Structure 1
Amino acid sequence: MKQSLFESRHQPEWQRFSQLLEQLERRRAKAEDCLSFPQDYRRLCQHLALAQERGYSSYLIDPLQQLALRGHQQLYRQRTPLSAKVLGFVLAGFPRLVREQWRFVLAAGLLFFGSLLGFGLLVYLFPDLVYSLISPEQVGAMQSMYDPDSSRLGRDAARASSEDWVMFGYYIMNNIGIAFQTFASGLLFGLGSVFFLFFNGLMIGAIAGHLTQIGSGQTFWSFVIGHGAFELTAIALAGAAGLQLGWALIAPGRLPRGEALLQASRKSVQLVCGVMLFLLIAAFIEAYWSSLTWPAPWIKYLVGAALWALVALYLIFAGRTAHAPE
């Protein structure tokens, strides 16, 4: 059914429902007028679902969504506090969204982690490859930072708590910059997100492979394994959100590209909100745990493995229960 016919057929119902909503919101509705409200609300939700399924424009879907939201609030007469909404998103909404967008998440994960592991292995087997991507000066700086015989990393780890707070802020800004770059560049028909996912994977893989090959692997891996669970996952998810934007421009379906992009951006922005949470956690771990030198490497590996398992279990299983908060 064409959108124009759908609108003309149901517009009178929507107008009546809107008028009744205004009366309910002003506490002026008569009891007899409210008897059909639950049925009218369910019918409006059916119309909204049909409009979304058929790919109608946002000029129709957005007003219906607003009516459905207002109707839900009046039907249950219970305002959900902002804190409850945030908690619901963290505990259930975000992992459900990641699973819903699994195709983009899988593509981003293959690009990022595939290039990281692949190039890291190549650099480990052929050490000179690192200089094809990273300058000798940068390589020297990385070697000095993670040299097991150097005290530089220990001095960094022994900094005062006030300096930990400064580094916490630095890590947040740096990580958010990388994630936003990876996400926003998806507007270039997804090519920007593909590039940054692949490039960042190559860079991290080159550093990891080189440091492991020269004998600094324990210093490097014990430092990054903890916060890497959240940080690397966040970069991949930011890329997935960018790929979603790019795909809306490449394959908009029956919608104009602008409308398709608008619809895709709603979910991709929600995905990025979860990415920001992951980056916040990663920055906290990096500033207050990863830089510590007193734990033995095996302790850091154990904690890092637990954090990777926690991230995986959260994204796979959180929000699957029928009564998970919205």
Structure 2
Amino acid sequence: MDLDAFSDVHRGEWERLKQLSARRRLDGAESDELVRLYQTVATHLSTLRSSAPDPVLVSELSQTLNRARTTIAGAHEPAWRDVKTFVLVSLPAAFYRLRWWVVAVTLACLLLAVVSGVWVATTPQGLAAVGPPSYREEYVESAFASYYDPGAGFAAVVWTNNAWIAAQCVAFGITGIWPVYMLVQNFVMVGAIGGMMAHYGELGMFLQLITPHGLLELTSILVAGAAGLKIFWTLVSPGPRPRGRAVAEEGRSLFTVAVGLVATLALSGLVEGFVTGSSLVWWIKIVIGALALAVFWVYVLVLGQRAVTQGATGDLDEERAGSVQQVAG
């Protein structure tokens, strides 16, 4: 197909469709003309996609049709259907596609935390690196437990802090360096605190206080780190897709993950704010935390697998993302 000739022949219809779509009011004849041109231009777009998928022209016609569709059907209002699709399809699909990255990052970070904890608990050098004796004793005897002050204010502070950590992993994930730095920093610190508590015979208290909220909280941070590293790897190795397209698609999925992490971190913040420091029996606190984590993984593995099987990726649909150039493979 000669794209220039095709464009010259039909440019008038495309421009007329743009003009009608931009008008606030149409009479009966103009409304009929708008619908007819919409159908005609949709046929043109289909022809271009199958015969000569020029990305610039395809994108132009897609945007023209989107505006015309809005004029014909009325402005799109957020509907419960959109929310349902996001919660039950897009978000679990985006999480599910990260599952093996999360597993790999989790194993590496747990190993790092254990090594850090053992070093602090068993060596004078490791213990000294945490702080002077007066600081360590005060932290173990009172500061660690008193930190978990039940209440909405504490829950909000916790959520804000963790959301900021996750946001950095997401926003700077493409660097490949910042997510690693954030994960190493956080898990070395967790391991070191656990090692210090163990050295002073308070490992049980450490586990009782960190487990209820930490199961979901640390998982959320790990997911954020995995998402950041995945988009970095997409930049390095985009596969059969053009590099720009691959990064754009994974980037949009990444922000779907980021929205989901707002919810998971909010839930872990509520557990930390109202359960961890409460007067409940310690095993009930841990059961609550374990249930929160179990709900998350059931959501990801059950709904996510179903959504991915149906073709969902967590990316925007074509109407919102825009058309892209087709590639073989």
Alignment partners' CA distance in 2, 1:141 and 1:14: 75
**Is 1:48–1:64's contact at 8 Å kept on the other side of the alignment?**
no
Deviations 1:186-243 (A, max 9, x none): 232x133233334433333343455456543332223233322432222122223322
Count of paired positions: 304
Alignment partners' CA distance in 2, 1:130 and 1:183: 37
User: How is 1:108-257 mapped onto 2 (pairs within 5 angstroms)?
Assistant: 108-111=102-105, 113-122=106-115, 127-128=121-122, 132=126, 135-137=129-131, 144-145=138-139, 147=140, 150=141, 157=148, 164-188=151-175, 190-208=176-194, 210-212=196-198, 214-251=200-237
Describe the shift of the 1:227–1:317 C-alpha distance in structure 2 as closer, same or farther (beyond 3 A). Answer: same
Q: Residue 106 of structure 1 is aligned with which of 100, 108, 127?
A: 100
Alignment partners' CA distance in 1, 2:127 and 2:83: 41
Describe the shift of the 1:156–1:179 C-alpha distance in structure 2 as closer, same or farther (beyond 3 A). Answer: closer
TM-score, scaled to structure 1: 0.70
Aligned to 2:131, the other structure's residue is in SS state helix
Instruction: Give RMSD over aligned pairs.
Output: 4.4
Alignment partners' CA distance in 2, 1:140 and 1:18: 77
Alignment partners' CA distance in 1, 2:51 and 2:43: 12
Q: Could you tell me how far 1:295 is from its partner in structure 2?
A: 0.9
The more displaced of 40-49 and 300-309 is 40-49
Describe the shift of the 1:47–1:131 C-alpha distance in structure 2 as closer, same or farther (beyond 3 A). Answer: farther
Deviations 1:84-129 (A, max 9, x none): 5345423432111222x43xx5235422x21332234445655336
Describe the shift of the 1:205–1:73 C-alpha distance in structure 2 as closer, same or farther (beyond 3 A). Answer: farther
Structure 1 position 318 matched with structure 2 position 318: no
Alignment partners' CA distance in 2, 1:242 and 1:39: 43
Residue in structure 2 matched with residue 298 of structure 1 by the alignment: 283
TM-score, scaled to structure 2: 0.69
Describe the shift of the 1:25–1:151 C-alpha distance in structure 2 as closer, same or farther (beyond 3 A). Answer: same
User: How is 1:43-62 mapped onto 2 (pairs within 5 angstroms)?
Assistant: 44=45
**Is 1:130–1:206's contact at 8 Å kept on the other side of the alignment?**
no
Describe the shift of the 1:74–1:258 C-alpha distance in structure 2 as closer, same or farther (beyond 3 A). Answer: same
Could you tell me which runs of 5 or more consecutive residues in structure 2 were left unpaired when the two chains were aligned.
318-329
**Is 1:116–1:206's contact at 8 Å kept on the other side of the alignment?**
no
Q: Could you tell me how far 1:39 is from its partner in structure 2?
A: 7.7
Residue in structure 2 matched with residue 66 of structure 1 by the alignment: 63
Q: Residue 286 of structure 1 is aligned with which of 249, 257, 272?
A: 272
Identity %: 24
Q: Could you tell me how far 1:291 is from its partner in structure 2?
A: 1.9
Q: Could you tell me how far 1:140 is from its partner in structure 2?
A: 7.3
Describe the shift of the 1:253–1:289 C-alpha distance in structure 2 as closer, same or farther (beyond 3 A). Answer: same
Could you tell me which runs of 5 or more consecutive residues in structure 1 were left unpaired when the two chains were aligned.
none
Amino acid aligned to 1:81: P
**Is 1:119–1:206's contact at 8 Å kept on the other side of the alignment?**
no
